[in-house]
């Protein structure tokens, strides 16, 4: 057991070293860490709580504009809340939604994909057809529909996002398992009389986990955008919970008079997704060089 831990730790250190030598992955990682810190320490970092403010103070422009005040660096929204503070708190929503929904999808996809790819047969047929069926729905439309049924709220949001996105992982894991299964090391393990469970978890999984991790990283960005899109349509988390998408939506009626209300949270969102994608693609270059886009 200890040996395992040590190996994993050594691998992680090695990975970190490789990331540091990959400039775009490093930039992505640094920004990402900054966002995580921001989310974790939001109450300390944010100048105000996310929901305080006064209607009297509404539509203050950012500090550098005429009429702006250094007390509200990025200005205030239509009910006078500090936009910077809400962006900082909003990082919590986005990161949580992104990580949690991908983690769940990954686990479901991994289990079902491995079963499907390893055993084939009727289970594989059923699961694959079902996956194909789900693929025929546009993701956003599907999520909107699920949210309409469940109603807004954090966990409903996670459910809506994972309902379909496990399929991506399923397809990847299934495909990889099928191709790994015929390789010599699996044959060898089988010849040694190892159980199917051991073969899948001990032999096949470590060999395909790289591509799963890469896919997971890239999907986090996509999930965050989808969550923001749902919030933008008014069916994400509840108002009061500062989500970037609903902040952009709030400002939509006022783009003629107060451009910053929509612009600022969108910028925060863009930067985060950019960082995740930079990091994810860097990770892919390192872990999965055969997919490298040169």
Partner 1 sequence: MRGLRVLERILSTIPIVFGVAVIVFCVMRFTPGDPIDVMMGREGHVSQEQIDALRREFGLDKPIHVQLYMFLSRAVRGDLGNSLTKHRPVSALIRERLPATVELALGALVFSLVLAIPIGVISAVRQYSFVDRASMAAAFFGISMPAFWLGIISIIVFSVRLGILPSYGRLPYGLEPARVTGLYVLDSVLTGNVSSLVAALRHLLLPSVTLGAPMAAIVARVMRSSMLEVLRQDYVMLARAKGLTEWAVITRHALVNALIPTVTVVGVQTGVLLGGNMIVETIFSWPGIGRLAVDAIFNRDYPLVQGVVMVYALTFVLANLAVDILYTYINPKINL
Partner 2 sequence: MGRRNLFVWFVIMLAMLAGGIISGCAKKAEPPPSDQLRTLSFTIDCENYNKAVAEAVAQQLRELGVDVQVRVWGDWAVLKEALLNKEREMLVNDWGNSTLDPYDLLNPKFETGGRGNYAHYSNPRVDDLLKRGATGTDEAERERIYKEVQEILYDDAPWVFGYAMQEIEASRKTVQNWVPATDSRINLHRVSLTEGDTLVVGIRATIESLDPANHRNRIAETVIRNMFDGLVTRTPDGKVVPEIAESWEAISPTLWEFKIRKGITFHNGEPLTADDVKFTFDRIITEGGLGNGKSSPRKAGLLDPVTEVEKVDDYTVRFHLSAPWPIILQMLVHQQIVPKDYVERVGSEEFAKKPIGAGPFKFVEGKLDERVVMERYDGYYGGSPDIPGAGPARIKRAIFEVIPETSTRVAALQSGQAHIIQSVPPELVPELDKDPNCEVKTVEGTRVYFLEMNVTRPPFDDVRVRQAMNYAIDWDLIIEKVLGGYATRLNGPLLPHGFARHTGLSPYPFDPDRARQLLREAGYRTE
Q: Which C-beta is closer to partner 1: that of 139 or that of 199?
A: 139
Secondary structure E strands in 155-233: none
CA nearest neighbour of 154 among 233, 250, 236 = 236
48 binds partner 2 per the rule CB under 8 A = no
144 binds partner 1 per the rule CB under 8 A = yes
31 binds partner 1 per the rule CB under 8 A = no
The entry of partner 1, partner 2, none near residue 229 (CB within 5 to 8 angstroms by kind) is partner 1
Please answer whether residues 255 and 264 qualify as being in contact, where contact means their C-beta atoms are separated by less than 8 angstroms: no
278 binds partner 1 per the rule CB under 8 A = yes
CB within 8 A of 292, min separation 6: which ones?
284, 285
Tokens at residue 67, please? Answer: 């009429």
191 binds partner 1 per the rule CB under 8 A = no
97 binds partner 1 per the rule CB under 8 A = no
Give just the sign of the alpha carbon dihedral 118, 119, 123, 126. positive
Distance CA 10, CA 205 (A): 19
The entry of partner 1, partner 2, none near residue 154 (CB within 5 to 8 angstroms by kind) is none
DSSP for 23-50 reads HHHHHHHHHHHHHHHHHHTHHHHSSS-T
Least distance in Å: CB of 141 to partner 1?
A: 6
Please answer whether residues 277 and 221 qualify as being in contact, where contact means their C-beta atoms are separated by less than 8 angstroms: yes
Tokens at residue 155, please? Answer: 């966990």
**Interface of this chain with partner 2, residues 191 to 210, rule: CB under 8 A:** none
CA nearest neighbour of 264 among 79, 73, 38 = 73
The entry of partner 2, partner 1, none near residue 75 (CB within 5 to 8 angstroms by kind) is none
The entry of partner 1, partner 2, none near residue 259 (CB within 5 to 8 angstroms by kind) is partner 1
Where along the sequence are the contacts to partner 1 (CB under 8 A)? 129, 132-133, 135-141, 144-145, 148-149, 151, 221, 225, 228-229, 232-233, 245, 248-249, 251-252, 255-256, 259, 262-263, 266, 269-270, 273-274, 276-278, 293-294
Where along the sequence are the contacts to partner 2 (CB under 8 A)? 51-56, 58-59, 78-81, 147-148, 151-152, 234-235, 238-240, 250, 253-254, 256-257
């Amino acid at each position: 057991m200890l040996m395992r831990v040590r190996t994993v730790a050594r691998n992680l250190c090695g990975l970190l070293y490789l990331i540091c030598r990959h400039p775009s992955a490093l930039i992505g990682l640094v920004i990402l860490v900054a966002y995580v810190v921001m989310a974790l320490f939001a109450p300390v970092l944010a100048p105000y709580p996310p929901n305080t403010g006064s209607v009297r103070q509404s539509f203050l422009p950012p500090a550098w504009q005429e009429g702006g005040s250094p007390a509200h660096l990025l200005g205030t929204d239509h009910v006078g809340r500090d936009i910077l503070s809400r962006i900082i708190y909003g990082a919590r929503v986005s990161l949580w939604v992104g990580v949690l929904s991908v983690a769940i999808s990954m686990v479901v996809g991994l289990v079902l994909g491995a079963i499907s790819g390893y055993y084939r047969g009727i289970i594989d047929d059923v699961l694959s057809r079902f996956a194909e069926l789900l693929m025929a729905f546009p993701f956003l439309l599907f999520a909107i529909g699920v949210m309409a049924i469940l109603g807004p709220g954090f966990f409903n949001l996670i459910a809506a996002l994972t309902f379909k996105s496990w399929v991506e992982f399923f397809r990847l894991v299934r495909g990889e398992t099928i191709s790994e299964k015929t390789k010599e090391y699996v044959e060898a393990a089988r010849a040694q009389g190892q159980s199917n469970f051991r073969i899948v978890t001990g032999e096949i999984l470590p060999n395909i986990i790289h591509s799963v991790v890469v896919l997971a990283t890239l999907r986090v960005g996509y999930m965050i955008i989808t969550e923001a899109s749902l919030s933008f349509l008014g069916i994400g988390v509840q108002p009061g919970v500062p989500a970037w998408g609903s902040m952009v939506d709030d400002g939509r009626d006022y783009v003629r008079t107060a451009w910053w209300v929509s612009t600022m949270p969108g910028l925060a969102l863009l930067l985060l997704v950019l960082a995740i994608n930079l990091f994810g693609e860097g990770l892919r270059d390192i872990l999965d060089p055969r997919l490298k886009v040169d």
